[in-house]
């Protein structure tokens, strides 16, 4: 076994690898970009070295920088995690050339499976079933469109060198093919530097089932059973579970054998995942990921194995720790991915500082894999995943109940997250009944109730209490440090001459204005909110949370203020309030008057119109890219483009005015779009 390991990654996977490496007695070396200088994985490693600036291309994707960091640190091996350089055959070869052990498969296997067309050919020769499609070398738009016609719509356009849902589009009819192909090519080129495409038949309501395989350098190959990853949005996994519900022993064995055959066909070594799409009684190979998967913890929970430790032992030349007959399944595990993203805005990535972050305590039944801590900044440079919550129990129903409890106890303020969406998803009757397929989330999205927009009365009361308690604590600290601690100017009880003592505030709650008055009473308060009165007792601050008794009911909420904005997390939901500010209202009116702003920080990929163009409601105007995913900003109404403020290639911040639109038919303009 080597003695030191460099982890060429960041976030939760870097922390995950550090844990297993430490358990094996290895010295760990972290690497970081300027954006991650204070990150948790940097603090936890035995040593950490800077790679470069924040952009991944200049840091985590820089092979030369990673190899140099390994040389400087004296590391003997490199673990690539997942993403970044994990499936880069050139990097695996560069590690070997530098005398480093690459904790991953042989470069040839990475190349074979990284090229989706080549992978399909190899699997066909090995007898692994394939989805009908076109995997040829001829890549003209005309040839791909013809292939789609031959296969029959709907079809799936898929990046030949892709993964993670990037460079992938579902096309329902021929008239949408050209635009979808162009968008998929752009996304694939940005994400993988390769715009070659595959065309496959799109299966209606399939399940996505993947099999974990492992091989050593001595010819041994096993599978560690399967995971169901059907719950996806935009082809990216949201919830994963093991074992796959409803899969009988015969089909499980058949899929496991096919996965092992796939690994043998390419001379595999290390951890890999063979992904299948399953429909009715059939299953088809779609791709093989030549790395550890994000969802590997559910396999660890049901098998009792440490897959990272397996990777390290196999990379050191040891045999597999177990044979196929020694591997067993116990219980059921479910994982969800907590993202900084806005489900109400088509899951746009969110950025900002994690002002408050609290997870439920880990246990035998609950595991939290996270790369962030309270106070960290979620930047636009990397994937916005904050954590994975993984639960285990004796059966699926019990595991889902535990997951509901864990999500309700997860508190995040400062950035928008998908925690409310995850709670609704886990509670959906279709999920409970294991009626799973890859299109379920999209269908639920149209029918599922959204987060409540209006805050309950208790939320406004707790926000007001939090502010009063914070002011009182600050005043007490100032008084204690002053020359006259007992001065009446240090009082914070709302005292008035010839009047009742109270504090009041006017909140904006969505579209409503709501007045709150807190009357000071002996030993507590009385909240007056419109026509309602609420008796308040035992109000206190506890580690950023407000704890109070309201009308005899004990409640708690995390309440944070940022300028005039309040974020209140109450009973698992985040409510956003604002103190009424006339200047802010004036700004909103200006935006409604025609300023089109960036919904997220990112890079301008294409400007589709020019100043003077007349546009129709819903017409695409500009394409942005954030975290390698594209977002199209469309016209909110008919009108004329008065000004365009950015060009392709420019970087924009969230809220930046992209262009000015005069709503209606006024103004002189034409209808010709800018050349793409």
User: Which DSSP category does 673 fall into?
Assistant: P
CA gap 327, 80 in Å, rounded: 26
* CATH label, 457-579, candidates 3.60.15.10, 3.20.20.140, 3.30.700.30, 3.90.1300.10: 3.30.700.30
Q: What CATH number belongs to 586-663?
A: 2.40.50.100
The predicted pLDDT at position 670 comes to 47
Q: What is the pLDDT of residue 297?
A: 98
Indicate the Cα dihedral angle 171, 175, 180, 185, nearest 10°: 120
Q: Write the burial class of residue 481 (CB in 10 Å: 0-12 exposed, 13-18 middle, 19+ buried).
A: exposed
Low-confidence stretches of the chain (pLDDT < 70) are 164, 446-453, 486-500, 544, 581-595, 627-629, 665-676
In this prediction the pTM is 0.77
Q: pLDDT, tens digit, for every residue of 66-122?
A: 999 999 999 999 999 999 999 999 999 999 999 999 999 999 999 999 988 899 899
For 132-201, the fitting CATH number among 3.30.1490.20, 2.40.30.170, 3.40.50.720, 3.40.50.970 is: 3.30.1490.20
DSSP state of 118: H
Q: What is the pLDDT of residue 234?
A: 78
pLDDT on residue 14: 98
> HSE-up of 281 (CA within 13 Å, CB side)?
1
CATH of 207-447, one of 3.30.470.20, 3.20.20.70, 3.10.450.50, 3.50.50.60: 3.30.470.20
- Does the domain made of 4-103 have the CATH classification 3.40.50.2000? no
Q: Which residues, in sequence order, are bridge partners of residue 169?
A: 157
Q: Cis before residue 243, ω within 30 degrees of 0?
A: yes
- The residues carrying an active-site annotation are 291
User: Could you identify the residue written with the tokens 């509901």?
Assistant: 404
What count of Cα atoms within 13 Å lies in the side-chain half-sphere of residue 520? 13
């Amino acid at each position: 076994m080597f003695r030191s390991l460099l982890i060429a990654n960041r976030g939760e996977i870097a922390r995950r690898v550090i844990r297993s490496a430490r358990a094996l007695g290895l010295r760990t070396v972290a690497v970081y970009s300027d954006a991650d200088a204070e990150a948790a994985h940097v603090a936890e490693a035995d040593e950490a070295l800077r790679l470069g600036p924040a952009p991944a291309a200049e840091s985590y994707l820089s092979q030369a920088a990673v190899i140099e960091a390994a040389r400087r640190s004296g590391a003997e091996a490199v673990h690539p995690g997942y993403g970044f350089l994990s499936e880069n055959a050139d990097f695996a070869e560069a590690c070997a050339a530098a005398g480093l052990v690459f904790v991953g498969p042989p470069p040839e296997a990475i190349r074979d499976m990284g090229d989706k067309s080549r992978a399909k050919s190899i699997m066909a020769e090995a007898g692994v079933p394939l989805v009908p499609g076109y995997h040829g070398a001829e890549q003209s738009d005309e040839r791909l469109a013809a292939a789609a016609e031959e296969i029959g719509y709907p079809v799936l356009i898929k990046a030949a060198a892709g993964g993670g849902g990037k460079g992938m589009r579902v096309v329902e009819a021929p008239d949408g093919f050209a635009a979808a192909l162009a968008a998929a090519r752009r996304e694939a080129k940005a994400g993988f530097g390769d715009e070659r495409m595959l065309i496959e038949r799109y299966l209606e309501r399939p399940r996505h089932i993947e099999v974990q395989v492992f091989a050593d350098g001595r010819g041994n190959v096993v599978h560690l059973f399967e995971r169901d990853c059907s719950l996806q949005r935009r082809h990216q996994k949201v919830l994963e579970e093991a074992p796959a519900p409803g899969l009988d022993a015969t089909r499980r064995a058949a899929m496991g054998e096919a996965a092992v055959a796939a690994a043998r066909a390419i001379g595999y070594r290390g951890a890999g995942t063979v992904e299948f799409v399953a429909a009715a009684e059939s299953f088809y190979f779609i791709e093989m990921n030549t790395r550890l998967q994000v969802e590997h913890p559910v396999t660890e929970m049901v098998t009792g194995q440490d897959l990272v430790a397996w990777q390290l032992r196999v990379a050191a030349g040891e045999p597999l720790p177990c044979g196929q007959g020694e591997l067993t399944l116990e219980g059921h595990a479910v994982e969800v991915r907590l993202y900084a993203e806005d489900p109400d805005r088509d899951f746009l990535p969110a950025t900002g500082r994690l002002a408050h972050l609290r997870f439920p305590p880990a246990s035998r039944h609950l595991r939290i894999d996270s790369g962030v801590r309270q106070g960290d900044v979620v930047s636009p440079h990397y994937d916005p995943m904050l954590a994975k919550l993984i639960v285990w129990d004796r059966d699926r129903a019990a595991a889902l109940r535990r997951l509901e409890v864990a999500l309700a106890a997860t508190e995040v303020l400062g950035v928008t997250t998908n925690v409310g969406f995850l709670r609704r998803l886990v509670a959906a009757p279709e999920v409970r009944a294991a009626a799973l397929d890859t299109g379920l989330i999209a269908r639920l999205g149209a029918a599922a109730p959204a987060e409540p927009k209006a805050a309950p009365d208790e939320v406004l009361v707790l926000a007001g209490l939090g502010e009063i308690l914070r002011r009182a604590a600050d005043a007490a600290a100032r008084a204690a440090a002053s020359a006259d601690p007992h001065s009446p100017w240090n009082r914070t009880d709302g005292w008035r001459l010839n009047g009742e003592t109270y504090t009041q505030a006017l909140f904006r709650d969505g579209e409503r204005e709501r007045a709150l008055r807190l009357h000071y009473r002996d030993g507590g308060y009385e909240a007056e909110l419109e026509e309602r009165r609420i008796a308040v007792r035992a109000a206190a601050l506890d580690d950023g949370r407000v704890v109070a008794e309201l009308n005899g009911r004990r409640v708690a909420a995390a309440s944070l203020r940022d300028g005039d904005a309040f974020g209140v997390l109450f009973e698992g939901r985040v409510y956003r309030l604002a103190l009424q500010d006339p200047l802010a209202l004036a700004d909103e009116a200006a935006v409604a008057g025609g300023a089109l702003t960036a919904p997220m920080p990112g890079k301008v990929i294409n400007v589709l119109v020019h100043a003077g163009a007349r546009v129709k409601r819903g017409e695409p105007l500009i394409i942005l890219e954030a975290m390698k995913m594209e977002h199209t900003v469309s016209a909110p109404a008919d009108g004329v483009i008065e000004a365009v403020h950015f060009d392709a290639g420019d970087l924009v911040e969230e809220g930046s005015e992209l262009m000015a639109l005069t709503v209606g038919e006024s103004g002189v303009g034409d209808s010709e779009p800018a050349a793409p």
